[in-house]
Structure 1
Amino acid sequence: MAEASCPASCGELIQGLINGSEKLISCPIDWYSTVEVKQGTAHQFDERPLMRRAVKATLKHLQIEETWHQKLSIRFHSTIPVAKGMASSTADIAATAVATARHFQQELNSQALAQICTSLEPSDSTFLHQLSLFDHKRGEIHQQFGWVPDLNILIFESATQLNTADYHQMSRQQWLKQNETRLTDAMHMFEQAMQTKNVALFGQACTLSALASQYILAKPGFEQFQALIEKFDLPGMVVAHSGTVVGLLCNPQQHDPDAIFSAVQLSVLQTHYPMQYMKKLIAGGVS
């Protein structure tokens, strides 16, 4: 028996057309999908469809006969919201792939895991152990960053669902191109924030990317979230660029999350985002 866990994401810190192609930097949080792979009879009610496909893809990468998947059972535990832009699928796929490799006493490096994940669907970069600029369609790791700011994320979950595949079928190229300059500015800002470990600049970069996303997949109450950022002097916000979740960046030494949640619950935002949580921003990586 082998086990692995992969974190969820509160949308993306940055996403858009960067240096000629769509790329993203996921926003990993301390919320996990844990998958167990062991020899035994498969039971469909114990797994999600992409998990079985992840086993097959991993066996292929390891050059193990694919029919082995019939001898493997999968069990998982995950409370990550599905189809909200929180990387639930990536967490399932990556955890399953690593658990499968471990079952055969092997390990997957970052590039192998990236290729397995993106061979099944466009993927987040949460399986990587550093915040990473990632081509989520080609599985290419373009840039990695060694610093993670000490921030909590107040997560606001919409009742609306949006599957990753459906998002990528939308006509977005015109808006992506129009926002390329804004994303270039956000990326430069993000890089400078990483180099100087500047939380304020980090938040500004994330907010600029979130603003660009409004032209493609608008979030209800965006202006009210901006008002909360000003009212509570928050670093900024993140959004699921291909989903429906919104997050406010919160300094644990400076901000009172209960006061912010109360302000949301007394506003129109409560109607749009009835589920609310607080999680920690982390580096990411399968454990």
Structure 2
Amino acid sequence: MTLPCNVVSSAAVFRPAAGPLVTVPDDKRKAADAARLALDTLGLHDQGGHLTVESDIPVGLGMGSSTADVVAAIRAVADAHGTQLGADEVARLAVRAEMASDSIMHGDFALLFAQREGVVLEHLGPSLPPLEVLSVDTAPGSQVDTLKQPAAVYDDWDIQAFRPLRGMLRRAIRTGDAALLGRVSTASACISQRHLPKPAFEEIQEIATAAGALGVQVAHSGTVVGLLFDPRHPATGRRVAEASARLQALGLPPVLHFRTDAAEVRHAA
């Protein structure tokens, strides 16, 4: 599942032109591949153009920077030709461009998404319950290359563990139960730890518990761990401040603090 984050983003502009496809900056290779695929899908096999991508999403942390670039590029190409591509088609092209994709082309819908096929497995609801997230980079200076990262191979124990978690996830989203969602996310994070371990994961879990967080979430192909809080709880401001101070003392200052809904993060002093 994708955890929505509205405080960072990618934007792309495409200007059709004769000649090759030029991308600025030139290291946005996945976005360039996505733009080429979009042109081919529109039947414009011989057309080139100028693609500009601007992003403030940190790269290599598992925050969906490449998917955001890719989706923005595909939509920019379609928009430049006066058309739109449906979310399912965008997902198909995104997976071809970057091998694995988040589900952001579907908006904030709560989805169970097959990231290497670009297929929605289950629509769970219009959105997640509101969450306040305090994210830390557990390996500053390191990056995970998703193209080189092998896919997790789950054993029978993992697969059996996911079954009840999926049912709990449905219930949490249907009822708006953020606490239950936090428990599901934490259990999933612990399973992920067997496949892409995050440094200091146990210590971060202890801080989350001590500060009264709902649980933790992890990037499936990165280094980020997020502490989840209920923004509707009156003690959340104090809890977030306590968790932030403990993380600072651990040498892992938070890199992002945001809400999954459109509201700004505001706490009384």
TM-score (norm 1): 0.81
Equivalent position of 2:42 in the other structure:
62
Structure 2 gaps, min length 5: 263-269
For the 8 Å contact 1:28–1:281, the answer to whether it is kept is yes
**1:102-113 superposed matches below 5 A:** 102-113=79-90
Question: Aligned equivalents of 1:164 and 1:242: distance in 2?
Answer: 6
The structure in which a higher percent of residues are strand is: 1
Alignment of 1:266-281 (within 5 A): 266-267=249-250, 270=251, 273-274=252-253, 276-281=255-260
Q: 1:202 aligns with which of 172, 177, 181?
A: 181
Q: What is the correspondence of 1:172-187 to structure 2 with a 5 Å cutoff?
A: 172-173=152-153, 175-187=154-166
1:226 equivalent in structure 2:
205
Aligned to 2:229: 250
| C-alpha distance 44-102 of structure 1, shift in aligned 2 (>3 A) | closer
1:87 aligns with 2:59: no
Which residue matches 1:122? 100
Give deviations 1:173-222, integer Å, cap 9, x for gaps.
2x444311222222111111011111111111111100101111111111
3-state SS of 1:266 partner: helix
Shift of 1:27: 1.1
Moved more, 229-238 or 209-218: 229-238
Q: What is the CA-CA distance between 1:148 and the residue it aligns to?
A: 2.2
Structure 1 partner of 2:147: 165
- TM-score under structure 2 length normalisation: 0.86
- Of 240, 245, 255, the residue aligned with 1:262 is 245
Higher relative contact order (CA 8 A, sep 6+): 1
Amino acid at match of 1:124: D
AA at the equivalent of 2:218: V
Question: Does structure 2 conserve the Cα–Cα contact (< 8 Å) formed by 1:91 and 1:126?
Answer: yes
- Number of aligned pairs? 249
Displacement of 1:265 after TM fit?
0.6
Any conservation in 2 of the 1:183–1:208 contact (CA below 8 Å)? Answer: no
Identify unmatched segments of 5+ residues in structure 1: 1-24
